[in-house]
Amino acid sequence: MTDNKSLQNKKRLWPWIMGIIVLLIGVWQLVSDNFREEEKELRTQIRKTVKEMFPEKAAELSQSFGLFLFNEHLELSREEILARNTVILIHGLDDPGKVWMNLAPALAKEDYNVLLMEYPNDQPVVESSQLFFKELKELKEFGIDRIAIVAHSMGGLVTREMLTSPQFQYIKSIDEKLVPEIKNFVMVGTPNHGSEMARFRWFGEIRDQLARLSNGNTSWQAAFLDGAGEAKIDLLPGSRFLTELNARPHPEIDTLIIAGISSPWQEEDIKGLVDDVSKEVSEDQKKLVNEIGAYLISMTHGLGDGLVTVESTRLEGVPHMTVEGTHLSIIRNITTGSERIPPAVPIIIEYLGR
């Protein structure tokens, strides 16, 4: 009897615990939404402080950022490399490095030079764009004149910022032969108008750090030096970064946007969870719970890939297409042993080969 009562008491506690968690998240979101830029500045200061306190660790980590040749095992001369077409793959927020597990080898088989752009993906998008621009200048110095770029998720925003920001003057830099000319640009699942799911980037950060830990390549300092979450604020709809970025015209570069139209959640499951949580929170918090629920439900109606809505991926005047899949499954398989071909992969290969 005692065990049964204890079990019943625990069951009664769970809704209260969930309610408290939602309440705390709600309060934090309400506060942070009103002070986004202040929060971003605070996060940046924390990151810079850690960098100043641990310069050796920062220098060590910086060696893992930049452009890296995927098919480096090929023993090619400089002349042979310059004779091949070059594609740069740039990942998104909190990616542990597996997003290109299908596309990179497929492009390598097509005799492309495949370069992976690695960057501190939790830092402000502008800083990532600065690093990208610097790497492109070095690529030009090596002798590569034309490139294609394939960007997943936030990687598309990093690229767009580099292409359109006055601080880089990309078009002028091409004329002055400082950077390679971009022949094609493909965005896959890029939240061009933001994503509400960026609020939950802590999950992606945990995944990112666990992946690095499994490779023996992380530390508590790395969690800050990789960025202190400023990118999350940039990715929120209506952020200052997105407002300024989307106010600029997209350059005349052959561009394609690919969006996913699937969701990992079922509508009835979301409604059930929303109903359960709503019973345990205050009236003020019910609005937040319902908004999050409505956003998740919109994904199940084919309006998004589970993280980014189709509308958020669109840019005026830029060709756009949709494929079935989630934010990750449209570009990569979940398991390494799968023989499935992610739907965006053949589209990208055909597009780049035109």
Q: d(Cα 74, Cα 72) in Å, to the nearest integer?
A: 5
pLDDT number for residue 96: 62
Element (H, E) at 71: none
Tokens of 247: 């106010």
pLDDT number for residue 74: 75
pLDDT number for residue 314: 95
Reported residue count of the chain is 354
Strands (E), the chain: 66-69, 86-90, 113-118, 146-152, 181-188, 254-260, 320-323
pLDDT number for residue 174: 95
Contact 248, 163 (CB under 8 A): no
Instruction: Please identify which residue in the block is written with the tokens 């946007």.
Output: 257
Per-residue model confidence as pLDDT tens for the chain (354 residues)? 555 555 555 455 656 665 665 555 555 555 556 667 777 777 778 788 888 888 888 788 888 899 999 976 777 888 988 999 999 999 998 776 789 999 999 999 999 999 999 998 788 999 999 999 999 999 999 999 999 999 999 999 999 999 999 999 999 999 999 999 999 999 999 999 998 877 665 444 444 444 454 555 555 556 655 655 788 889 999 999 999 999 999 999 999 999 998 755 666 777 888 888 888 888 878 888 888 887 777 655 545 788 898 889 999 999 999 998 999 999 999 888 888 999 999 999 999 998
Tokens of 10: 């625990």
In this prediction the pTM is 0.77
Q: What CATH number should be reported for the domain whose range is 35-262+304-352?
A: 3.40.50.1820
pLDDT number for residue 273: 83
Tokens of 287: 């609005």
pLDDT number for residue 117: 96
Contact 135, 66 (CB under 8 A): yes
Amino acid at 242: L
pLDDT number for residue 34: 63
pLDDT number for residue 2: 53
Contact 307, 204 (CB under 8 A): no
SS3 of residue 333 by DSSP: coil
Find the angle CA(202)-CA(259)-CA(126) to the nearest 5 degrees.
50
Domain spans of the chain, in order of start: 35-262+304-352
Tokens of 350: 């055909």
pLDDT number for residue 206: 46
pLDDT number for residue 276: 86
Task: Give the closest residue to 39 by CA, choosing from 54, 53, 29.
Answer: 29
Q: d(Cα 171, Cα 34) in Å, to the nearest integer?
A: 36
Contact 259, 305 (CB under 8 A): yes
Whole-angstrom CA distances from 175 to 63, 149, 167 are 30, 19, 16
- CA dihedral (132, 134, 135, 137) in degrees, to 10, reads 130
Contact 319, 257 (CB under 8 A): yes
pLDDT number for residue 44: 77
Contact 315, 257 (CB under 8 A): yes
Tokens of 105: 């080898």
